[in-house]
Amino acid sequence: MTILEYISWSELLKNTNLTAEHGNDGNRIAMATVSLKQTAHLFVQLLDERARLFANSAQFDVALRDAAAIRAILPRSGLGYLCTGDVHCQQGRYPAAIAMYDQGLKATTESDPYYQQLQKYRLAALANNSKRVDFISQLPLEIVISNIVSRMEVPSNVLYEPLYVSRGWRERIVEQSDGLDFYLDGKWTTLKEGHDQLVRFAPHVRSITGRIHKGIRLDDLFSRAHFSNLIRLDLSYDGSCHIALINGLQLIGNSLTHLVLEWDACYIELYRILESCPNLVSLIADHVDIVVSSPRRYPKMTHLSIYNNQEAVCSDDDAINFLRQFPSLLSLKLDPMRSSSVLTILHEHCPYLQELYYGYNNDYNDDVDELDLHKIEPHPNRKGITSAHLGNAGLPYLTKTT
C-alpha cells in the first residue's frame, strides 16, 4: 500500500464505512472519530484566536498561515474564510477579502454558524473598497508644499494624474506659493498646439526646462496663455534664428528672474536678452555677443555667467561698458576673456563682486547644475573679490580664496 504524501485533514474527520470489523472496533472507531472532530473544532478555535492576535500585532503572514490551516482542517466551515478575510481587511486589501468571503459563501451552507457573518463582512469590505481617502487635502498645507509639491516636475504634453484627482488636490498643488515646474521633453515638432496641460496651468507655472529644436518658435507657446508667474526658464536651443527666441522672451520677460540659455547656433546679442528680460537676477548663457549698444543698467542682476562670448570683436572699452551695466554683481563668469586690463578697474564698476571667473574655462553644465542664487550674499560691511579664478582652457594662472 502506498503511503500518501499529502493527507487531507478533512478526510481524517469523516466517518468511515467498514467492510469488515473485529469485535467492537467499529464503535470504538466511531467514538475516536467523534473525539477527533471535537478536538479539531477546539483546535481551529485556538488557531482563529491566535491568527487574530497575530494580525493585531501586524504579523500578517503568520496570521494568514493559521487562517489557511483552519480552512484546510474544516473546509466546509465558514470560520477559516471569515478569519482570512478579516486579516486581509486589516491590511487594507479589500479585494482579496471580498474574494475570500465569496469562497466561504460558496463552500458553506446557510445553516453554517458563520454564514451570516460572511455576508455581513463581505458587504463591509465592498463599502470600504469603494472609499477614496483624500490624504493630500487632510495634510497641513506646509507639508504638502515642502514635501510633496516641491518634488513634482510636471510634463508639458502628458497627463499628470495628481492634478486631476480632485478639485482639492488641484487647488493645493497649483495654488501653493512656489508654483509648478514643467519640462519640455523635446519629442514634439511644434508649440502651436498640444502641451494643453502647460497652457491650462500657465498662471501657476514657476519654471520651464527643456529643449527647443530647429524650426520651433518659443513665441508660439507663450502667445497661447499668460505665464504671469514664470520666473525661471532653462532652455537648450539648437535653432538657427534667434528672432523667434527673442520674441518668445519678450512675452514673459517682465516676470522672468532666472534665465539659462544653451545656444548651439550663431551668436546672440546680450543686449537683446537683457532688453527682453529687464528683471533678471541670474543669467547663464552660451554663444553671446557682449558688445553694448546702449548705456542702460541692470541693477537687479547679481549672478552672470557668459560662455563662448564673441571675444574677437570685444575691445577693452566694450568690456568696460559691459561691466558698467551690472553694478550689483556678486558673481561674474566670463569665458573667454583674454585681456586683463579691466581687472584693475573692475571694483569701480562692480563694487560688490565677490566671485570672479575671468577667461577661465569653467564647465557650462556644472555651472547650471550647481547654480545656487543664495550661495553668495552681499555683506553690508565688505566689498571686494573673495574668490578669483583667472586663466584659459581650464588652466588657471591665479586662484585665490580668502
CA distances 244 to 185, 202, 236, 241, 292, Å, are 19, 20, 14, 7, 21
Whose cell is 568696460? That residue is: 320
Q: 301-325 as b/e, with b when 16 or more CB fall inside 10 Å?
A: bbbbbbbebbbeebeeebbbbbbeb
108 pLDDT tier (thresholds 50, 70, 90): very high
- Model confidence at 184, pLDDT cuts 50, 70, 90, reads confident
Residue 399 clears pLDDT 50, i.e. is over it? no
As a whole number, mean pLDDT of residues 168-182 equals 74
Q: Is 238 exposed, middle or buried (0-12, 13-18, 19+ CB in 10 A)?
A: middle
Rounded-to-integer distance, Cα 332 and Cα 326, Å? 10
- Average pLDDT of the residues in 9-23: 62
391 in Cβ contact with 398 (< 8 Å): yes
The strand pairing partners of 80, in sequence order, are: none
Q: What is the pTM of this model?
A: 0.61
Looking only at Cα atoms, what is the longest distance across the chain? 126
Name the grid cell of 342. 579691466
Asked if residues 335 and 307 have their Cβ atoms less than 8 Å apart, the reply is: yes
Instruction: Map out the domains of the chain as residue ranges.
Output: 9-16+24-130, 141-362+375-401
pLDDT at 390 (0 to 100): 77
- pLDDT score recorded for residue 337: 67
Q: Is the peptide bond before 380 cis (omega within 30 degrees of 0)?
A: no
Domains 9-16+24-130 and 141-362+375-401 share a fold: no
Element (H, E) at 263: strand 258-263
The closest of 135, 70, 144, 142 to 103, measured between CA atoms, is 70
What is the rounded CA–CA span in Å between residue 210 and residue 235? 5
Residue 231 identity (one-letter amino acid): I
Strand positions, DSSP E, 49-165: 154-155
Region 338-354: mean pLDDT is 82
What is the reported pLDDT for 14?
64
Residue 330 in contact with residue 352, Cβ under 8 Å?
Answer: yes
Q: Which long-range contacts (CB under 8 A, 24 or more apart) does 272-275 make?
A: 272/242, 272/246, 273/246, 273/249, 274/298, 274/325
How do residues 56-83 score in pLDDT, each as one tens digit?
999 999 999 999 999 988 888 999 999 9
Judged against a pLDDT cut of 80, whether residue 385 lies above it is answered with yes
Check pLDDT > 70 for residue 338: no
The lowest-confidence range among 178-192, 250-264, 346-360, 387-401 is 387-401
Nearest to 71 by CA among 55, 37, 48, 42: 48
Q: Which amino acid is at 302?
A: T
Cα of 71 vs its chain's centroid, Å: 44
- Where on the phi/psi map is residue 282: left (φ > 0), alpha (ψ -120 to 50), or beta? beta
Q: How far is CA 207 from CA 63, 162, 183, in A?
A: 50, 18, 8
Name the pLDDT band for 2 (thresholds 50, 70, 90): very low
User: Which residue in the block uniquely carries the three cell numbers 508644499?
Assistant: 145
DSSP one-letter code for 73: H
Q: What fold does the segment set 141-362+375-401 form as a domain?
A: 3.80.10
Mean pLDDT of the chain: 79
Peptide bond into 336 cis (omega under 30): yes
Q: What is the DSSP letter of 377?
A: -
For the stretch 129-157, what's the b/e string if a residue is b when 16 or more beta carbons lie within 10 angstroms of its beta carbon? eeeeeeebeeeeeeebbeebbeeeebebe
Say if CB 180 and CB 152 are below 8 A apart: yes
- Whether 374 shows a pLDDT value over 50: the answer reads no
Per residue in 114-150, pLDDT (tens digit) is 999 999 999 999 999 987 766 777 777 777 766 766 6
Q: Which residue has the cell 503511503?
A: 3
Fold of 9-16+24-130: 1.25.40
